[in-house]
Amino acid sequence: AQSVTQLDSHVSVSEGTPVLLRCNYSSSYSPSLFWYVQHPNKGLQLLLKYTSAATLVKGINGFEAEFKKSETSFHLTKPSAHMSDAAEYFCVVSDMSRDDKIIFGKGTRLHILP
């Protein structure tokens, strides 16, 4: 069965510095991987998805994620944090070819320091 672990429940960075949010997954098959963002009191928005066409995936708002099969990781990065990036981020794994379960990580809350 697939599972996903977000290694940090909270991350704090200063505005203008890089962001790294870590995600490791477990899947018996080739997984589909996603990052979603949820701003305070808002719904969930898709940031990016891994399509297997490229290991480095570009998303919205300057975010990227790199798929590393050997490390079973899909870490989310951004070169320069902005105050508007303060939100909760969820790593998501699924394997629709095997079953239809879509599993979320517990989330990482990103704090941006002025």
Partner 1 sequence: NAGVTQTPKFQVLKTGQSMTLQCAQDMNHNSMYWYRQDPGMGLRLIYYSASEGTTDKGEVPNGYNVSRLNKREFSLRLESAAPSQTSVYFCASINDRVYNSPLHFGNGTRLTVT
Binding site for partner 1 (CB under 8 A): 6, 9, 32, 34, 36, 43-44, 46, 49-52, 90, 92, 96, 99-107
Give whichever of 2 and 73 is closer to partner 1, judged by the CB atom. Answer: 2
CB of 67 to partner 1, least distance (A): 12
CB of 14 to partner 1, least distance (A): 24
User: CA-CA-CA-CA torsion for 36, 40, 43, 48, nearest 10 degrees?
Assistant: -20
CB of 43 to partner 1, least distance (A): 6
Give whichever of 100 and 114 is closer to partner 1, judged by the CB atom. Answer: 100
| C-alpha span between 103 and 114 (Å, rounded) | 33
CB of 7 to partner 1, least distance (A): 13
Q: Is 54 helix (H, G, I), strand (E, B) or coil?
A: coil
Give whichever of 72 and 104 is closer to partner 1, judged by the CB atom. Answer: 104
- The answer to whether 48 and 65 are in contact (CB under 8 A) is yes
Give whichever of 15 and 72 is closer to partner 1, judged by the CB atom. Answer: 72
| C-alpha span between 64 and 20 (Å, rounded) | 10
Of 18, 10, 93, 32, nearest in space to 62 by CA:
18
